[in-house]
Amino acid sequence: SYVLTQTPSVSVAPGQTATMTCGGDKIRGKSVHWYQQKPGQAPVLVVYNDNDRPSGIPERFSGSNSGNTATLTISRVEAGDEADYYCQVWDTYSDHVVFGGGTKLTVL
Amino acid sequence: QVHLVESGGGVVQPGRSLRLSCAASGFTFDNYVFHWVRQAPHRGPEWVAVISYDGSNIYYAAAVTGRFTISRDNSNNTVYLQMNSLRADDTALYYCARALGFGDTFYGMDVWGQGTTVTVSS
């Protein structure tokens, strides 16, 4: 089955840029979606199709996808961005949806 | 307003069954695909199942294949998850999530409910 690998934790100071990666075999050939989850809340879609934002998501959130790594970038990080972030793909080979293990973003 | 409201969770003994429901409102139900996603305590989300617009295409995670059944009633704007032969490792918060697209055209899960808790314990 397809596996997505995320760095467990990232720490960044307010105002700086946070970069979170999602590794997968030839992930460039898949559409990657990213979710933000705060404690006690349901996940929220923040980036879809590698680099599109749903309405209401700030432009500070952006994504990219190349080779074997997809990346979520949060510019000008705010305290309210502290959360767990999960990447996700639809593996068309198995017709399964796959989540990464998540990255905990800490704002220092 | 767009809403998904899950219900039907509870405490159940191993080997027993539960049926979860997800009631949708505020949008055209049959324009969307629906997923069930679960999250065990202190773990990340785990995909469970998906059902296409008219219910003609359904897929399950390996962990639930043969035990769980997803279905939908487009006349009542509701998605269901029938869970049989429950095991301790099925214990989780179960979310219903809406999605546009299916397979190659999957655009992510843009609306989630608040979840219903399933606890499997003797």
- Residues 6 or more apart whose Cβ sits within 8 Å of residue B90: B38, B64, B83, B118, B120
Average pLDDT over chain A reads: 97
**Separation CA A2–CA B26 (nearest Å):** 34
pLDDT score of B108: 95
CA dihedral B110→B29→A90→A93, nearest 10 degrees, is 180
- Residue A54: its pLDDT value, please? 96
Question: Reduced to 3 states, what is the DSSP secondary structure of residue B30?
Answer: helix
Statement: residue B82 has pLDDT above 90: yes
Is pLDDT at B58 greater than 90 in this prediction?
yes
The predicted structure's pLDDT at residue B57: 95
Q: Please tell me the distance from the alpha carbon of residue A54 to that of residue A19, in angstroms, as a whole number.
A: 19
pLDDT at B121: 97
What is d(CA A33, CA A50) in angstroms, rounded to the nearest whole number?
Answer: 6
CB < 8 Å to B113, chain A:
42
Q: pLDDT tens across B32-48, in order?
A: 999 999 999 999 999 99
Where are any strands of DSSP class E within B26-91? 33-39, 46-51, 58-60, 68-73, 78-83
Summarize the confidence of residues B64-83 as an average pLDDT: 98
Checking if the pLDDT of B119 tops 90, the result is yes
Indicate if the pLDDT at residue B105 is higher than 90.
Answer: no
CA distance A21 to A23: 6
Q: With cut-offs at 50, 70 and 90, classify the pLDDT of residue A96.
A: very high
Distance CA B18, CA B118 (A): 9
Best residue in B43, B52, B57, B112 for a mutation probing chain A (most A CBs within 10 Å)? B112
Using the beta-carbon criterion (under 8 Å), do B59 and A96 form an inter-chain contact? Answer: yes
Does B3 score more than 90 pLDDT? yes
Q: Which residue has the higher pLDDT, B101 or A46?
A: A46
Q: Which pLDDT does position B102 carry in this prediction?
A: 86
* Chain A residues inside the 8 Å CB shell of B44: 84, 86, 99-102
Q: Say if residue B120's pLDDT is above 90.
A: yes
Model confidence at B100, pLDDT cuts 50, 70, 90, reads confident
Q: Kindly indicate the confidence band of residue B75, based on its pLDDT and cuts at 50, 70 and 90.
A: very high
Shortest CA distance to B13 belongs to which of B114, B105, B101, B87? Answer: B87
Q: How far is B43 from chain A (nearest CA, A)?
A: 8
Measured between CA atoms, the residue of chain A closest to residue B36 is A97
Among residues 23-82 of chain A, which lie with CB inside 8 Å of chain B?
31, 33, 35, 37, 42-45, 48-49, 54
Of B46, B109, B114, nearest to A45 by CB-CB distance is B109
The mean pLDDT of B97-115, rounded to a whole number, is: 93
Q: What is the pLDDT of residue B38?
A: 98
CA distances from B77 to A33, B40, B104, B114 (A): 26, 27, 25, 17
CB < 8 Å to A100, chain B: 44
